[in-house]
Structure 1
Amino acid sequence: MAIDFPGLSPAQSAGNRGKVSEQQTQATGNNTGNKPADNTPARSDDTVRISDTAQALQRSVGENSGNADVDSNRVAQIKAAIEDGSYKIDNERIADRMLQLDSLLG
C-alpha cells in the first residue's frame, strides 16, 4: 500500500521503495507518466489529537520520573540468583500482571 504525501515528489515519498537507481531516475525527472510534485505548503489548520490513554500514560511517566530510585541491593540479589541458577520465574504472576496492564490500557 503506497502512502501519498502531498508536497513530496514520488522519489521522496515513503511509498517509493524501488532501487536507488530507479529513485534517482525519478528524482531527475526522467520518468514519464508521473505528474509533477505539488509544492503547496501544508494547511495551517492541520491538527493532531492524542488519545486519552496516551495522555494518561504520559502523565504517569512524568509523575514517576522523579521516583527513579533503584534498590541496588535487590538488583544485586537478583543478578546473583540468575547467575547461580536459583532465580525462579512465576509464570502465573507475570500473566496476571500482563492482564492487569491490558485491562488498564484497553
Structure 2
Amino acid sequence: MAIDFPGLSPASSAGNRGKVSDQQSSTPSGAAGQPATTPERGERADTVRISDTAQALQRSSVDSSDNGGVDSDRVARIRAAIEDGSYQINNERIADSMLELDSLLGE
C-alpha cells in the first residue's frame, strides 16, 4: 500500500518507507509512545489533519452506535416470543416485501 506525503516527491517518500518496528525503534519515546522531548530547533513536529468528511463520518458513527435506531423493547419481545415458540412468521408479508424490493431493484 502506498502512502502519498504532500510536499514530498515520490522518490524521497519512497526512501522513507520502512517497517513500523524500524521506524519506532529509531525514534526515542517516553511513556505511552509519546515523544520523550519536544522537537529540536529547526525540526518540525509531526501533525495529522483529519478531513471534514472523515470527521463527519466519525460523528455519525458515534451517533449511530448509541442505539442505532433499534427499539430494544421490541427486540426483547421478539426474542422472548422466539424462545417460547409463540413467534408467528407471516409468509405472505415476507413474500410481498421481497417482490416489492425486486421490482424496485429491477427498474
**Length-normalised TM-score, structure 1:** 0.37
**Length-normalised TM-score, structure 2:** 0.37
Q: Relative CO higher for 1 or 2, CA cutoff 8 Å, sep ≥ 6? A: 1
Q: Which has the higher helix share?
A: 2
